[in-house]
Structure 1
């Protein structure tokens, strides 16, 4: 169970409540594509499907989003990024998300595309 005082799963080392928790609660929106990526990883870690759906482009968002209860997201590595800054409207974030499932460690690698819509960053889809 992650509390506001727990270390945030995104890897920045801040308490969850002051880091990604504020995005999940809707207090503020992520100001960059990378911070949105980190907050989405944390949403997977805490099981916040509402936040994941809200920050997923409607054209690519699945109709039903169910998380695997046996998968525990453990840490995130940001491998690179393009654009996605405070004054930009598009960007990518390449990452490796680590998890444990069935007592085995594994990871997934993706280069994700993001766009800003109405001053809010949203995830679109993997890019090549």
Structure 2
């Protein structure tokens, strides 16, 4: 029996049974947390189209797509840590190594659901 590697997002499932499903269905997740996890995996895999597609049109940085993909490929992603998740807000830490230095993105993200589809909106206001 082979070893099943956990998904990049840290869920106790394989990538094929987790984030790959959302990467293939255009980000149609049930919860905001699932979308956030799938976006983290998209950063790990430098899936720029998915990141733009799942970013709400009102805040989508289309002109930055190439820069985002270039940066995502230039770092080594370590792990995702979900700190708190509510209906439309997810607080997380995303650890990575850049130029040999370990760093972390600490974010409280806001999501919005339109036509039964979740989108990343941006930083949640405290």
Higher helix share: 2
Coarse TM-score class (shorter-chain normalised): 0.7 to 0.9
TM norm structure 2: 0.86
Aligned to 1:104: 101
State the superposition RMSD in angstroms. 1.5
Whether 2:74 is the aligned partner of 1:70: answer: yes
1:114 aligns with one of 96, 103, 111: 111
Runs (4+) off by over 2 Å: none
Q: Gaps spanning 5+ residues in structure 2: where?
A: none
Q: Give per-residue Cα distances to partners, 1:50-98, cap 9 Å, x unaligned.
A: 1111100011010221321321221100011222xxxxxxx10000000
- Residue 26 of structure 1: CA displacement? 1.1
- Residue 27 of structure 1: CA displacement? 7.2
Q: How many residues align?
A: 117
Q: Gaps spanning 5+ residues in structure 1: where?
A: 84-90
TM norm structure 1: 0.85
